[in-house]
């Protein structure tokens, strides 16, 4: 007997094989790092990717040679920082993921990385604006709350800024929020999808648990929120000076890239939380904000409003907005001072 499940499966398979025929070049800048290597590996396993360009200031050709032996169809090339290397890696790219920069050590906040990572992201953004102005740009390098505005300013200065194509990758916050609630409630984490809004550091990370029908209270709720906001610190401490989240981040980055590829290849209702140029709090002078975003062939298709939240969540949001404004302004000021 032919059930609805069979039909759905057949349609899925057909649309998937049609979409995999479309060429998609994906570039990773910082591809030899702790995030860059497993992220590149996961992208090599994605049949929607036809070309994978790996760039780093060290070791990218080695990583490319290694990953290039995996028996999936995509072509992999590694690029060194030669005069043409970065441009060649970027040219023709549909998606550019940027995990280049330094990670945290114990005791550091993401903002402590600003001085080093701001100029790394600025320079890579300049190259992307020149060689891949129409690509989707996915910023992973921290502090995301500032590196995304930095990238926007670089693109604006060159007249190629498209707010629909710039994304701060906050997927890991949702991955963690979903995992942590499943540990508390003994549910399957794969079926959890907790909405997380705001930004990507400490108090700017705001999980909206009530929207998934959960009503934790008291210390359990406080502890849950704290764990989502500072989950990254658990990894930084456990790695004891050797870096921050890399493997879970690679998974989160690959998931976001996969969602963009699905959307650009025509799939509907692809929704991911991400830190984008957003109208939601512009009246309060906050130009960027993470919320659920529907993705489409042109990048951002629709920015979802926050929706109904509890009083407790509103307090978290108020604290988030105060911090976020400063983080964004810091990025904008950096480009004014050091264009
Ligand atoms: P890592 O130090 O292991 O790797 C960074 C890589 O960037 C290195 O291979 C380095 O050679 C490369 N690099 C440095 N300058 C470069 C340049 N100008 N051009 C190209 N490549 C360059 O660091 P890891 O652990 O991979 O973290 C990378 C960034 O991702 C950090 O800023 C970290 O804070 C951030 N991160 C973001 C998360 C998020 O949720 N958005 C989660 C975890 C980390």
Please give the Cα distance from 130 to 152 (Å, whole number).
Answer: 13
What does each C-alpha distance from 269 to 208, 253, 264 come to in angstroms? 20, 19, 12
d(CA 268, ligand 1 centre) in Å: 32
Domain 171-337: give its CATH architecture.
Answer: Alpha-Beta Complex (3.90)
Percent of the chain with pLDDT over 70: 94
The pLDDT of residue 165: 98
Segments making up each domain of the chain, as ranges: 4-168, 171-337
Residue 162 near residue 155, CB atoms below 8 Å: yes
Atom of ligand 1 nearest to the CA of 244: 25
Q: Identify which of 329, 271, 337 has the alpha carbon closest to the alpha carbon of residue 152.
A: 329
* From 35, 196, 252, mutation site for ligand 1 pocket: most ligand atoms within 8 A of C-beta: 35
Binding residue numbers: 30-36, 56, 104, 110, 117, 140-142, 176, 249
Atom of ligand 1 nearest to the CA of 32: 9
Q: ipTM beyond 0.90? A: yes
CATH code for the structural domain at 4-168: 3.40.50.720
Q: How many residues does the chain have?
A: 339
Please give the Cα distance from 321 to 203 (Å, whole number).
Answer: 9
d(CA 92, ligand 1 centre) in Å: 23
Please give the Cα distance from 258 to 74 (Å, whole number).
Answer: 14
The pLDDT of residue 278: 98
**pTM for the full predicted model:** 0.94
With a 6 Å cutoff on the Cβ, whether 273 touches ligand 1 is no
Over 70: is that where the pLDDT of 16 sits?
A: no
Atom of ligand 1 nearest to the CA of 140: 41
Question: Does residue 96 sit in helix, strand or coil?
Answer: strand
Please give the Cα distance from 135 to 323 (Å, whole number).
Answer: 29
Active site residues: 200
The pLDDT of residue 105: 87
With a 6 Å cutoff on the Cβ, whether 120 touches ligand 1 is yes
202: left (phi over 0), alpha (psi -120 to 50) or beta: left
- DSSP per-residue codes, 261-298: HHHHTT-S-EEEEEEEE-STTGGGT--EEEEEEEEETT
d(CA 141, ligand 1 centre) in Å: 6
With a 6 Å cutoff on the Cβ, whether 137 touches ligand 1 is no
Binding residue numbers for NAD(+): 30-36, 56, 117, 140-142, 249
With a 6 Å cutoff on the Cβ, whether 103 touches ligand 1 is yes
d(CA 242, ligand 1 centre) in Å: 12
Over 80: is that where the pLDDT of 8 sits?
A: no
Please give the Cα distance from 187 to 170 (Å, whole number).
Answer: 23
Q: Look at ligand 1, atom 27, and give the residue with the nearest C-alpha.
A: 103
Residue 287 near residue 277, CB atoms below 8 Å: yes
Please give the Cα distance from 244 to 233 (Å, whole number).
Answer: 8
Mean pLDDT score, 310-317: 98
**Is the model more confident about 2 or about 298?**
298
With a 6 Å cutoff on the Cβ, whether 41 touches ligand 1 is no
The pLDDT of residue 14: 45
Mean pLDDT score, 266-286: 97
Mean pLDDT score, 123-152: 98
d(CA 326, ligand 1 centre) in Å: 23
Over 60: is that where the pLDDT of 22 sits?
A: yes
Tokens representing 299?
Answer: 């990048």
Residue that is written with structure tokens 């810091």 in the block: 330
């Amino acid at each position: 007997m032919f059930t609805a499940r069979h039909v759905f499966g057949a349609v899925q398979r057909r649309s998937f094989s049609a979409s995999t025929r479309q060429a998609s070049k994906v570039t990773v800048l910082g591809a030899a790092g702790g995030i860059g290597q497993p992220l590149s590996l996961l992208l090599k396993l994605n049949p929607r990717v036809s070309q994978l360009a790996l760039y780093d200031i060290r070791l990218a050709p080695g990583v490319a040679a290694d990953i290039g032996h995996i028996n999936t169809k995509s072509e992999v090339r590694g690029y060194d920082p030669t005069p043409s290397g970065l441009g060649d890696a970027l040219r023709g790219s549909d998606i550019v993921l940027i995990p280049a920069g330094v990670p945290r050590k114990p005791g550091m906040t993401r903002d402590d990385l600003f001085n080093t990572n701001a100029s790394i992201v600025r320079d890579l953004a300049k190259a992307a604006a020149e060689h891949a102005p129409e690509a989707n740009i996915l910023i992973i390098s921290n502090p995301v709350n500032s590196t995304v505005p930095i990238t926007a300013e670089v693109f604006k200065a060159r007249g190629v800024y498209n707010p629909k194509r710039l994304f701060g990758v906050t997927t890991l916050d949702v991955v963690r929020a979903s995992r942590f609630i499943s540990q508390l409630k003994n549910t399957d984490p794969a079926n959890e999808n907790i909405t997380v809004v705001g930004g990507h550091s400490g108090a700017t990370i705001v999980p909206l648990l009530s929207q998934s029908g959960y009503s934790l209270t008291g210390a359990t709720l406080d502890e849950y929120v704290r764990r989502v906001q500072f989950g990254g610190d658990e990894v930084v401490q456990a790695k004891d000076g050797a870096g921050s989240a890399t493997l879970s981040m690679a998974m989160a980055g690959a998931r976001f890239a996969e969602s963009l590829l699905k959307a650009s290849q025509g799939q509907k209702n692809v929704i991911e939380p991400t830190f984008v140029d957003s109208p939601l709090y512009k009246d309060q002078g906050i130009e960027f904000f993470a919320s659920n975003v529907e993705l489409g062939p042109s990048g951002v298709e629709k920015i979802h409003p926050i929706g109904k939240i509890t009083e407790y969540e509103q307090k978290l949001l108020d604290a988030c907005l105060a911090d976020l404004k400063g983080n964004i302004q810091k990025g904008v000021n950096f480009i004014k001072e050091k264009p």
